[in-house]
Amino acid sequence: MEYPGLQRGLRSRHITLIALGGIIGSAYFLGTGYVVNQLGPGAFLAYILGGIITYLTLACLAELEVSVALQGSFISYASQFVSPSWACGVGWSYWVTWVVYIPSECLAAGIVLNHYIPAVPPYGWAFGLGLIITFMNLIHVKYFGELEFWLALIKIFALVGFSVLAILIFFGLIGSETHTPIGGEYLLDNGGLFPNGIAILFVNMVLLLVNYQGSEIIGLSAAESQNPNVDIPASLKRVTYRIICLYLIPVFLLALIFPWQDANLQGSVFGKALGKYGMFPADQVFNIIIIVAALSCSNSGFYATIRALYGLGMQGMAPKQFSTLNRRGMPIWASWVTIGAIWIMLIFSYFFSAHALYTNLLAISGFTGAVCWISICWSQLRFRNKLGKEEAKKLIYSIPGFPYLTHLGIWLQVICLGVVALNPSLRSSLYFGLPILLIPMIVYKLRNRSLAK
């Protein structure tokens, strides 16, 4: 089943960098400080767990995209292989994921810019960034892809630069007058890997998974890929490798050179780590990177959530107007409704503390996003179970270790969602996230039941 009309202006390099743009946002550059402060030096192990979950989810999505290419991506797969009502709940959950996350990115930039120009409150800066993102997503998809490509490159270069400098610092080649290696001083000698207990790793995983969410955008962009059978598996493989290089390695190096007690939400922890060793301009550079990351991640998220709403409209899970395309092949009604919802969330920043709203929006986004990832794995499981053994052998791309790794991807995330109830500061995501999933499912069932009579 295909939905005609969407622009096909994205190339393989655009798709890969769009996925990375969605992944590397302010939640990583700014929020890693919170994660390290809560978990301790062992935060890098939490990022490894997050990387495993991401790989398993992407592998499931790759198999579906190559084998049963449907526009609307995992929403369409959930409808076909699980149930239409489940797909409706997941689709609206995904839409909400980005509707609340994009304002959090704008707020992150606002918090940083407020330190430099206090006369302008964080919500003022957030409004300004929101205007820029709104404009960028109403232009041709080709220009969107090119812009996202360069924004993502800036973030990649920053993290590579941090990694190189951190390695030199660790071995005492720079930042130390004695030129002696640091050793395990910060990694093991300040309460061990998990000074607050290992259980806190799972309690905070929903918030940490926000850092990885966005990689599924590569599935939504498949509809606009020029050669999805080749582009999607290749792009997913490259994204997996870059997650290792751009997430796991920098966080591990951070744990080696920086005391976990000093990590917080007051600016980028990566910049602070370099500043500790006399590289004070780095602190300012990484604060600028937070702004770039917020712009890039919001840009990718805007792209994803509009097309998710478009898919809901095409499948009768949202008003049919949301599937309307303009003459340039853009889902115009889905765009305007999404823009309106995001601006409502931005307006909330006028009435609430920027820091408090930022944390709560991230937690909600993490919960609803994890629901969507569970759905991807579940859809792949149901898809494969419908195939015979001989048909499964003919798949162009298949997840390794089926069905065990598929089940692992599902249950790791179910556990992460369940234990969020144990964290009072993140529990609101459970109270908000479950209704967002269940209410559309109930409405869809009732509506179809009434139509059938």
Q: CATH code at 222?
A: 1.20.1740.10
pLDDT at 452: 61
Contact of 147 with 299, CB cutoff 8 Å: yes
In a domain, 452, yes or no: no
* Mean pLDDT score of the chain: 82
Does the pLDDT value for residue 233 go beyond 60? yes
Does the pLDDT value for residue 372 go beyond 50? yes
Q: Could you identify the residue written with the tokens 């994660």?
A: 35
Contact of 228 with 61, CB cutoff 8 Å: no
Domain count, the chain: 1
In a domain, 21, yes or no: yes
**What is the per-residue pLDDT across 92-124, written as a single tens digit (0 to 9) for each?**
998 999 899 889 888 888 888 887 888 999 889
In a domain, 245, yes or no: yes
pLDDT at 251: 93
In a domain, 51, yes or no: yes
Which percentage of the chain shows pLDDT scores above 90?
Answer: 23
Does the pLDDT value for residue 263 go beyond 80? yes
In a domain, 291, yes or no: yes
**Structure-token pair, residue 374:** 């569970």
Q: What angle do CA 399, 233, 210 make, to 5 degrees?
A: 80
> Model pTM?
0.84
Host domain of residue 280: 12-445
pLDDT-derived band at 4, boundaries 50, 70, 90: very low
Paired strand residues for 10 = 225
In a domain, 105, yes or no: yes
pLDDT at 8: 47
Does the pLDDT value for residue 52 go beyond 50? yes
* pLDDT mean over 205-221: 74
Contact of 1 with 76, CB cutoff 8 Å: yes
pLDDT-derived band at 163, boundaries 50, 70, 90: very high
pLDDT-derived band at 75, boundaries 50, 70, 90: confident
In a domain, 348, yes or no: yes
In a domain, 7, yes or no: no
Helix (H, G, I), strand (E, B), or coil: what is residue 318? coil
